[in-house]
Copies of this chain bind each other. A is one copy, B any other.
Amino acid sequence: MEKIKILVVDDEARMRKLVKDFLVKKDYEVIEAEDGAKALDYFYNDKEIALIILDVMMPQMDGWQVCKEIRESSKVPIIMLTARGEERDELLGFQLGVDEYISKPFSPKILVARVEAILRRVIGEEKQEKMEAGGIVIDHAAHIVSVDGETVELSYKEYELLTYFMENQGIALSREKILNHVWNYDYFGDARTIDTHVKKLRNKLKDKGELIHTIWGLGYKFEV
């Protein structure tokens, strides 16, 4: 099947690369544009683009302008990236038909989640809504986790962490890797934080907590 194309517009190469890496991992085709003019150019020449991720702050032509131009001829979903602190002009965005905002720094998880939510809405494509392993079920649509049929209440981070583990069953994950995926990419906190979260998660999963194995000297692994 043809891959879904996403256009990423940002003047910072690093940011484009970052976004691209995560989307490519999810099997999307990513086209990069370093400024508004190039973005419009790519967009007009490739009718297949399913979604645009647009940085607000760019020299020459900012994200709003690009958005406005595109909206004159297309209803393609647009996600706006806003910098930390930068105020969101929600109203302007609403008028221009922005579908979503994501504040930098963002976690890759959030980005991918938003992208998929929008595409699901627009394309109506169904994605993996449920995950199961060893009696643990995550229902992403309902945002509910159950262990042996019984619902357990997880906090946001715990939920993300468990999801990451279950997405990578049988794979040894270093703390660094976990931090990079579950936390924000620019989070430079203590890797020991993970221990605490793992502990809490294990507790809540009751006897299924032991499915999260400690790999001494390396990190953790989820395995049934």
Task: List residues of chain A with CB under 8 Å of any chain B CB.
Answer: 13-14, 21, 75, 90, 94, 97, 121, 141-143, 155-156, 170-172, 186, 188, 215-218, 221, 223
Contacts and interface: CB of A to CB of B under 8 A. Distances in A.
A148 to B, nearest CB: 20
Given A155-B216, A216-B155, A143 B97 contact: no
Contacts of A90: 188
B186 A94 contact: yes
A215 B142 CA distance: 10
B142 A13 contact: no
A143 B14 contact: no
A208 to B, nearest CB: 20
Contacts of A14: 75, 97
Contacts of A223: 142
Given A14-B97, A90-B188, A218 B141 contact: no
A21 B90 CA distance: 21
A218 B121 contact: no
18 contacts: A13-B75, A14-B75, A21-B121, A90-B188, A94-B186, A141-B170, A141-B172, A142-B170, A142-B171, A142-B172, A142-B223, A143-B172, A143-B218, A143-B221, A155-B217, A156-B216, A156-B217, A156-B218
A129 to B, nearest CB: 10
Contacts of A97: 14
